[in-house]
Structures are given as C-alpha cells and as structure tokens.
Amino acid sequence: MRIYLPADAAAKALGAEAVAAAVLREAAARGVAVDLIRTGTRGMIWLEPLLEVETDAGRTGFGPLTVAEIPALFDAAFGDHPKALGSVERIPWFAQQTRLTFARCGRIDPLSLAAYEAEGGLTGLRRALAMSDADIVAELTESGLRGRGGAGFPTGIKWETVRKAQAERKYVVCNADEGDSGTFADRMLMEGDPFSLIEGMAIAGLGTGAEKGFVYLRSEYPDAIAVMTRAVEIARAAGLLGGDVLGSGRAFDMEIRAGAGAYVCGEETSLLNSLEGKRGVVRAKPPLPALEGAFGKPTVVNNVISLATVPVIFERGAAHFRDFGLGRSRGTIPLQIAGNVKHGGLFETAFGLPLGAIVNDIGGGTRSGRPVKAVQVGGPLGAYFGPDQFDTPFGYEEFDGQGGLIGHAGLVVFDDMADMGAMARFAMEFCAVESCGKCTPCRIGAVRGVETIDRIRQGDAAAIPLLEDLCETMKDGSLCALGGFTPYPVLSALRLAPEDFAPRKEAAE
C-alpha cells in the first residue's frame, strides 16, 4: 500500500510527524506493508495533516487527521472514514486551480529526481541547453513573466541586461528571504519541489552566462534549508549541476546561504551585502545589481517563484504561459490566503480573479464568521483593501490603480473586530524596527509616524494632516520601498476606518 503524507513545515506544525509515526506503528502491528512517501503540501492547509492513498482511481485523501483516528483508518481499509475526502485532485478548491509552478508540489517525494523527471522535470532545461543564450532570454521575455518577489519587474529585461554585460564572472542569486507577512509560497515550493528551483536557476545561468548561483534563504526556514541543501547535493551527484550540466559541456553550480533574519535583507541590494558577509544595508542604485551585483559582478536577482516558474515556461513554451492572465500580468500567480479566513492556503491561478472572489469564494470568508473589514495584500508594505474594492482584479496595474500592490501575492484577511488605527501604528513601528537606517525619511520618519498616530489616537485630530504629510515625505524621499511603501498600509487604514483613529472607549469594546 502506497501512502503519501506531507513533511512540509506547515503540515508538521499541524501534527504530520505524529500521524506518520502512528501510520507506521499501526501498519507494523497489523502486518500491513506500507510504503510511506513524504511529500510537500498540496496547499490546503486547513486539511493538514492530509494523508493520501494510491488507489486504482487515483489518490484519495483523508484529513485533517489526528493520531487517534489512524486505527479506524486501517479498520476501514482506507475507505469509508469520517475524514474521507475522496479524490484529492477533485476537491473543488484544488480542482479550480491552474497549477503550473506548483504542479508537482504535494504529489512527489521532493528529493526524488526520478519522480521529478517522471512529472515533466528537466524537459525545460534540456530544451534550453539546445538554445543560444539570446534565444533563451527571448523566450523568457516572450512569456511575459514578471518578478514574483514584489516589484513585478519583467524578468526577461533583467536577464537581457546581465546577458549583455561584459564580465569574466556573473551570478544568479535567488531571493528566498520571503519576509512578507502571510506569505509562504517560496517555502512551500522549496520544501515540496526543490529541483524546479534548481532547474530554473540553471536555465537562468545558461541565458545570462552565469556559472554560479546562490540561494539566499532565511534562517527561520530550517526545513527548506535542509531540503534545498540535500537537493543541491543530489543534483550535483546526478550531473544536473557542476562543470558539465547534463553532459552539455556547460557549467553551472550553486550553493545555499542562510540569512540571519532581517526583513530588509529581502531587498535585493541589502541581500547582496548580507550574502557577501556585510551588514544588510541597502545600496544606492545605480549601479543596478544586473551590472554590479554580487561581489561587484553582473547578477540576476530573482525571487524563488520567478525562477521556479522558468522550467514550465521552457517545457510548455512561452505562449502557453502567456495565454493565462490579464493585461500585463501574464501567467499564473500562487495566491497565499491567510489571516482570519476559513480556507487558508496556497491557490495557484491565472491573474485576473477579483479580490472579493478570492476572499469570499476561495477563502470562504472569515473563520470567525464575522464580516470582512479589510484585506492586506502584498505584505507589511501593502495597502488594506476594503469590501468596496472587492471587484479589483488581481493584477499588478489593477492593484496599483487602487493605491496598492500585489507584492508577493500574500493576502491577510481581517474581520470587523480589527482596529485599523492599531494596524496603521504597527506598520510604522515595523518600519522603525526593520529600517536599515541608511536614509532619514525612513529611519526618523517611521519613529515620528508612531508618535503622530499615538497623538491622533489620544484625540489630537489636528495631527492627521501631519501624518499625511509625513507619509508623502516617506513616499517621495525614501531610498527603498521599506520606507517608501509603509505609507500604503497607513493611509489605506485611515481611508478605510477613520473612526479607528479616534480615542478608543476601551470599556465599551
């Protein structure tokens, strides 16, 4: 009997290790031969630990499981059970998705290169190996892929700048710092399908002339670090990395570096400083990292999802990817739905779904059952969207037009109990704590912002224009988006719920 159970950190946090041990114990006690394969997660976090059994009709699922429910599962011969979900891939939440980047995640043993290849892995790299560097970059440009780390910069243009740069060494750096609140796509991908990131980085190397890659991975992701480290070793032993990639005579190798944990180290220039062993302070641009990046050499810095999406683009062709989406937002996007929501998890879909459909239809509304008050989209620097903006389609330009951003596509849902004044204060406080200190509008402005919001909340309404003024200064004068975008959550909270900035009658709450 073949059983699949995630070893993803989210599933583990919900008890997957104990369930795995119980399955093996019960199987041994009953003399049942079980082949237990640990996978990544399918992304339906409210169903974890989600166990799947291979049947003639495909994989059927059971979840969320507890240890106490395992004996009954064996009694029922993995059939009729209170936690039976039927075919996992026909669960409507899963079936509605368009899984391109996450196609294998939750299906395969993340460290089995054979399983990776059996499900389409390495097809893209093999195709790229037969192409010139210019053709590789042209194909990527044609796909319309934009950076999934936050800024949405066209990936093809970045690669072309590095490709054209003259230097004896170039680098590919994967940004796996994933600091945005409510986001976990990078972690899920690295724990569930690490070879897709390795393959994407190798294609980036071929396209730009870089022979060395680094994954800058946050230290708070020990499971992802372990899986990625092992995957690189396996890839090297299999000839996928090293001096002769898949026997092509081309070289590409990579290493995993752990960051010490600072939000600003996700900003690409600060990341490069940290990668080089320096303090994580933002560098002034120009020079662009594409021309003077890691160790002063031309460098592609791309997010995990940007790079892990590259193999499927080369496997199926740029047009296949480009056909999905809306306007200038092409392809699919892994939405990460979190906060006060019934069905939290990762939902990969083409750009274009209205925000309200994501929150209410996919997320199922709030877990508390109370009305939605706000959704923060795009991490701690993203704006709060209210239900009056729920018809906004999920796309870079569409969110920008509403005074927001999609960032890394994290959505954090709040019900009507949320105190938006407190959330605005938190945004300023977060900026003050995480500021790298290089520029004044952010370093000093964020501290003044906390003080000004406190004044307003103590009844000094005349300080509201001062707060708005300060936000303008931070927007226009900050060197990077940490100081420059903190006004988004602050001003959107003020727009959405000005009453939350008035003194609170604690006793009445």
Ligand X SMILES: Cc1cc2nc3c(=O)[nH]c(=O)nc-3n(C[C@H](O)[C@H](O)[C@H](O)COP(=O)(O)O)c2cc1C
Residues of this chain that bind ligand SF4 (CB under 6 A): 264, 282, 435-439, 442-443, 478-480, 482-483
- The answer to the question of residue 217 lying near ligand X (CB under 6 A) is no
Among 337, 409, 446, 480, binds ligand X (CB under 6 A): 480
What is 45-62 written as a DSSP string?
GGG-S-EEEEETTEEEEE
Tokens found for residue 416: 């009507």
Tokens found for residue 62: 């059971």
Among 481, 491, 493, 494, binds ligand X (CB under 6 A): 481
Q: Looking only at residues 53 through 72 of this chain, which bind ligand X when binding is defined by CB under 6 A?
A: none
Nearer Cβ to ligand X (6/152) = 152
- The answer to the question of residue 486 lying near ligand X (CB under 6 A) is no
Beta strands in 219-354 (DSSP E): 253-259, 299-303, 325-326, 329-330, 332-339, 345-350
- The answer to the question of residue 463 lying near ligand X (CB under 6 A) is no
- The site partner of 303 among ligand X, ligand SF4, none (C-beta below 5 to 8 Å per kind) is ligand X
- Binding segment for ligand X among 39-47, 221-229, 476-484, 498-506 (CB under 6 A)? 476-484
Nearer Cβ to ligand X (180/211) = 180
Whether the Cβ atoms of residue 185 and residue 336 lie closer than 8 Å to each other: yes
Among 6, 43, 156, 266, binds ligand X (CB under 6 A): 266
Phi then psi dihedrals of residue 333, to 5 deg? -140, 130
Burial class (CB in 10 A: 0-12, 13-18, 19+), 111: middle
Report the nearest approach of ligand SF4 to the CB of residue 162 (Å): 23
Cis ω before 49 (30° cut-off from 0): yes
- The answer to the question of residue 267 lying near ligand X (CB under 6 A) is yes
- The site partner of 332 among ligand SF4, ligand X, none (C-beta below 5 to 8 Å per kind) is none
Nearer Cβ to ligand SF4 (491/496) = 491
**C-alpha span between 202 and 240 (Å, rounded):** 9
**C-alpha span between 214 and 254 (Å, rounded):** 5
- The answer to the question of residue 390 lying near ligand X (CB under 6 A) is no
Report the nearest approach of ligand X to the CB of residue 151 (Å): 4
Nearer Cβ to ligand X (113/173) = 173
Report the nearest approach of ligand SF4 to the CB of residue 352 (Å): 32
Tokens found for residue 58: 């495909």
Nearer Cβ to ligand SF4 (44/282) = 282
Task: Determine the 3-state secondary structure of 174 from DSSP.
Answer: strand
Nearer Cβ to ligand SF4 (20/479) = 479
Distance of CA 428 to the CA centre of its chain: 23
Q: How many residues bind ligand X (CB under 6 A)?
A: 22
What is 133-160 written as a DSSP string?
HHHHHHHHHHHT-B-TTTT--BHHHHHH
Tokens found for residue 509: 């709450």
Task: Determine the 3-state secondary structure of 72 from DSSP.
Answer: helix
Q: Which residues bind ligand X (CB under 6 A)?
A: 147-151, 153, 175, 177-179, 263-264, 266-268, 301-303, 306, 480-482
